[in-house]
Amino acid sequence: MKFGIFFELSVPRPFAENERIVYQNALEQTRLADELGFDQVWAVEHHFLEEYSHCSAPELFLTACAMQTTNIRVGHGIVTCVPEFNHPIRIAERAAVLDILSGGRLEMGTGRSATWTELGGFEANPDDTKKTWDEFVHALPRMWTEERYRHDGQFFSMPSRAVLPKPIQSPHPPLWVAVSSPGTENDAADRGMGCLGVNFSSFAQQERMVAEYRRRIQNCDPVGAVNDQLNTINFLYCHDDSEVGVTTGRQMMGQFQYLAGQLDMAKEVYPTRAYLTAGLLSGARRRAAAPGDLKEPPEGIAVGSPDQIIRELKKWEATGVDRVQFLLNTAETIPQQQVLDSLRLFASEVMPHFTDDTTAEASRQLARDAAAGSPVADTTAGV
């Protein structure tokens, strides 16, 4: 397995004082993750979600990430494929520019919003979002690969035009879809797209999902180049002291679940069959009644000592997933220096257990260099 980091960019009140801090801390975490050998950095697209996520322009944040790093891939996760949010031409153009600026490091996540706060704010119809997503993901690879493109569809049309610029990855950046509702993993497989899982119930169910995804993608009708990978989201707090690691990680998770529990999910507000469940957030209200109220981290969560985290991640590895992306903080619950120390310890003590022998020592050396004070270049002034 490979590992990455994942940002919601949650901001505690007062916003005017903390938004800049959250963004700068996230950029510092990204620079360190790049030095330590993490594989990807993902950023969501959310709108109007006070405290929970202030990441409304992920393409700008990811451009800053790309300009300050060398190897880590930048994951647009996800672009909301709903015309009231984003026109598909603009999605294609912005993605191509980000691929160029990052030197061909873009991972392109797609999906649809799940909250009524966002859908209602843009006056989008929840009954249409699955259909608009499907139309968009069929169009995007053609915009990137065809000299000129025309489209006459249900949700958008355009005359023949050259959609410019073109991405530098050939034939185009890998395509993913966020999976938070049952069955979306099959939609991903049938279209030859990577599965960016943001929901989890049990390892037995996860294994069944992975097996079905692998089976279906072998016979897919791809929208573009096939991306047969499974990605999942987790929390990370790694500490030498197991009790400290679990307690701190539990506080971060409890804060996340508390904020998630305040959201107005489309399924709960708007009567529609387009959203079968509330997805990732469906049980948040039951699990955390107040910030930090979570009692124990669920099975499979990467908090605690290195040995604990290795055991939990080996369970994920056994299910067949290819990558794990980590949320590192929620609303600055954990001080920045502790987040950076957690990343270094994870890279030094955990990552080598998921690499082959030829790269394990390189992972350890990267972590030793960072822990010894190897500078993390601060280029924020030039962004």
Strands 157-161 and 149-152: antiparallel
Taking the CB of residue 115, how many other CB atoms lie within 10 A of it?
24
Report the CATH number that the domain containing residue 368 is assigned in CATH: 3.20.20.30
Q: How many angstroms from the chain centroid is the CA of residue 187? A: 18
Is residue 263 very low, low, confident or very high in pLDDT (cuts 50, 70, 90)? very high
Identify which of 197-201, 279-283, 290-294, 305-309 has the greatest average pLDDT: 305-309
Give the pLDDT band (50/70/90) at residue 197: confident
Give the pLDDT band (50/70/90) at residue 84.
very high
Q: What is the mean pLDDT of residues 27-37?
A: 98
Lowest mean pLDDT among 204-213, 238-247, 324-333: 204-213
Q: What letter would DSSP give residue 151?
A: E
* Predicted confidence (pLDDT) at residue 378 exceeds the cutoff of 60: no
181 pLDDT tier (thresholds 50, 70, 90): confident
Note whether 345 and 33 are within 8 A (CB). no
Q: What is the C-alpha to C-alpha distance for residues 31 and 66, in angstroms, rounded to an integer?
A: 9
31-46 burial code (b ≥16 CB/10 A, e <16): bbbbbbbbbbbbbbbb
84 vs 371: CA distance, rounded Å: 46
Q: Which domain holds residue 9?
A: 2-382
pLDDT band at 282 (very low <50, low <70, confident <90, very high): very low
Predicted local distance difference test score (pLDDT) of residue 237: 98
DSSP state of 102: T
- Per the prediction, the chain carries an average pLDDT of 89
pLDDT score at 379: 30
Work out the average pLDDT over 316-336.
Answer: 97
Band of residue 329 on the pLDDT scale cut at 50, 70, 90: very high
Between residues 207 and 133, which one has the greater pLDDT? 133
Residue 291 scores a pLDDT above 80: no
Compute CA 207 distance to the chain's CA centroid, rounded to the nearest angstrom.
Answer: 21
Domains in the chain, number: 1
Residue 377 is predicted with a pLDDT of 37
Provide mean pLDDT across the span 129-145: 98
Q: What is the pLDDT of residue 323?
A: 96
Residue 271 dihedral angles phi and psi, to the nearest 5°: -75, 105
Give the bridge partners for 302, in sequence order: 236
Question: Under a CB-based contact definition with an 8 Å cutoff, are residues 53 and 8 in contact?
Answer: yes
Please, which pLDDT band fits residue 380 given cuts at 50, 70 and 90?
Answer: very low
Check whether 285 has a pLDDT greater than 70: no
Q: In the prediction, which pLDDT does 294 show? A: 53
Report whether pLDDT(192) > 80. Answer: yes
Q: Is the pLDDT score of 368 beyond 70? A: no
Q: Find the distance separating the first CA and the last CA of the chain, reported in whole Å.
A: 32
pLDDT, mean of residues 200-225: 91
Beta bridge partners of 349: none
Query: What number is the average pLDDT over the span 27-56?
Result: 98
Q: Report CA dihedral (7, 9, 10, 11) to the nearest 10 degrees.
A: 160
- Distance between CA atoms of 207 and 118, rounded to whole angstroms? 32
pLDDT at 292: 55
Of 93-102, 151-160, 360-369, least confident by mean pLDDT is 360-369
pLDDT at 231: 95
Q: CA separation (Å) from 60 to 29, 57, 63, 97, 101?
A: 17, 6, 5, 11, 11
**pLDDT value at residue 277:** 60
Eight-class DSSP state of 265:
B
CB-CB contact of 217 with 228 (8 Å):
yes
Report cis status (omega within 30 of 0) of the bond before 14: yes
What's the rounded mean pLDDT across residues 334-349?
A: 98
